[in-house]
C-alpha cells in the first residue's frame, strides 16, 4: 500500500489520485452506456456529398405510407399530384432536398419502392428510410443458406 510512517512533523506532499481516477472511469462508463441510447438510429439510403467542409443546408420532407393506403407529407394527408407539386416546390429552393420515408410494417414492399421511384422521378436523389431497430424482423433461419432469401454470408442470392 504505499504508507510510510515518520516522526509526524513532516508535511505529506504526495497526492493520491486513485479515487479521482476511479470516479472519472465510472463517469466515462455511464456516459458510454447512455450515449448509445440517446442517438436516434436510422438506415441511411443515400447521403448528400459536399465538395467543401461546410455542411450544406437541406430541406427535409417527411413522407409516411400508412397501412390503409394513405400517403402523408409531414403528417398531413396528401395525394399523388399534391406530392408531385410539393416535391417540385422543394426542388425549386436553393436547399438540398432530403426525403425521410417511413412506412407501416404492414405496407407492401412494392409500395415503398414505388414511393422511392416517384421521388427520384422528380429529381430528388437523397432520401432515408426511418426504421425501428427494436422491431426488426430477422431472416427465417430455416430459409437462410437454402437458396431462398439471404445467403449465409449476408449477401443477397443472385
pLDDT tens digit string along 129-158?
887 766 666 766 666 555 544 444 444 444
- What is the arithmetic mean of pLDDT over 114-125? 88
Residue 128 counted as domain residue:
yes
Can you tell me the distance from the alpha carbon of 155 to that of 109, in angstroms, rounded to the nearest whole number? Answer: 19
Which pLDDT does position 147 carry in this prediction? 52
Which pLDDT does position 145 carry in this prediction? 57
Which pLDDT does position 146 carry in this prediction? 55
Residue 82 counted as domain residue:
yes
Residue 1 counted as domain residue:
no
- What is the arithmetic mean of pLDDT over 81-98? 86
Give the neighbor-by-neighbor strand order of the sheet with 71-73: 43-44, 127-129, 96-103, 58-65, 71-73, 76-78
What pLDDT, in 10s, does the model give residues 32-69?
Answer: 888 766 655 555 555 556 555 555 567 888 888 888 88
Q: What is the pTM of this model?
A: 0.51
Q: Is 147 left (phi over 0), alpha (psi -120 to 50) or beta?
A: left
Residue 67 counted as domain residue:
yes
Most confident of 5-14, 23-32, 99-108: 23-32
Residue 101 counted as domain residue:
yes
- What is the arithmetic mean of pLDDT over 114-123? 88
**Of all residues in the chain, what percent carry a pLDDT higher than 90?**
5
- Provide the grid cell at 127: 432520401
Residue 97 counted as domain residue:
yes
**Residue in 30, 25, 100 with CA at minimum distance from that of residue 65:** 100
Domain count, the chain: 1
Can you tell me the distance from the alpha carbon of 48 to that of 45, in angstroms, rounded to the nearest whole number? Answer: 10
What is the domain extent for residue 91?
A: 43-47+58-135
Q: How confident is the model at residue 22 (pLDDT cuts 50, 70, 90)?
A: very high
User: What 8-state DSSP symbol labels residue 150?
Assistant: B
Amino acid at each position: 500500500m504505499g504508507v510510510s510512517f515518520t516522526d509526524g512533523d513532516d508535511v505529506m506532499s504526495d497526492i493520491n489520485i486513485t479515487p479521482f481516477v476511479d470516479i472519472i472511469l465510472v463517469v466515462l462508463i455511464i456516459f458510454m452506456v447512455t450515449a448509445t441510447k440517446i442517438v436516434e438510429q436510422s438506415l441511411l439510403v443515400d447521403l448528400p456529398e459536399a465538395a467543401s467542409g461546410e455542411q450544406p443546408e437541406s430541406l427535409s420532407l417527411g413522407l409516411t405510407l400508412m397501412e390503409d393506403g394513405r400517403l402523408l407529407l409531414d403528417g398531413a394527408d396528401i395525394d399523388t399530384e399534391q406530392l408531385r407539386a410539393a416535391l417540385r416546390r422543394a426542388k425549386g429552393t436553393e436547399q438540398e432536398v432530403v426525403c425521410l420515408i417511413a412506412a407501416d410494417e404492414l405496407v407492401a414492399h412494392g409500395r415503398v419502392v414505388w414511393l422511392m421511384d416517384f421521388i427520384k422521378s422528380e429529381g430528388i436523389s437523397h432520401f432515408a428510410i426511418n426504421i425501428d431497430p427494436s422491431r426488426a424482423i430477422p431472416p427465417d433461419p430455416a430459409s437462410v443458406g437454402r437458396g431462398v432469401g439471404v445467403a449465409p454470408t449476408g449477401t443477397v442470392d443472385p
